[in-house]
Amino acid sequence: IGVGLVGFGLFFLLFGMLLYFDSVLLAFGNILFLSGLVFIIGFKRTFTFFFQRPKMKGTSFFLGGVVVVLMRWPLLGMLLEAYGFINLFR
């Protein structure tokens, strides 16, 4: 279930970017991606991954970008998410 949710999340994110940053598709893709991540590695491990002390800057930008996309500012939200994603996984 988790791999399917992550796959559909990535599909909706890509499709939302191809359709000139459609905010509904991007928001749906973000929700599916994060819920799939929870299904794959579990709630506790997801929480501990995102909220480690050295990764708080990346987490705040990533989750802030998700919130900005949900508020229907897709371009700014995706830029914040990308910066947060880079900080999380470097």
Helix axes 23-41, 74-88, angle to 10 degrees: 30
Residue 17 banded pLDDT, cuts 50, 70, 90: very high
| Model confidence, pTM | 0.89
pLDDT of residue 45: 96
Q: What is the mean predicted confidence (pLDDT) over 22-28?
A: 94
> What is the residue whose two structure tokens read 């796959």?
7
Query: Residues 23, 69: contact at Cβ < 8 Å?
Result: yes
Task: Show me where the domains of the chain are located.
Answer: 1-51, 52-89
Tabulate helix, strand, coil % of the chain (nearest 5).
Answer: 85, 0, 15
Residue 90 confidence (pLDDT) above 90:
no
**Which H or E run includes 40?**
helix 23-41
DSSP label of 50: H
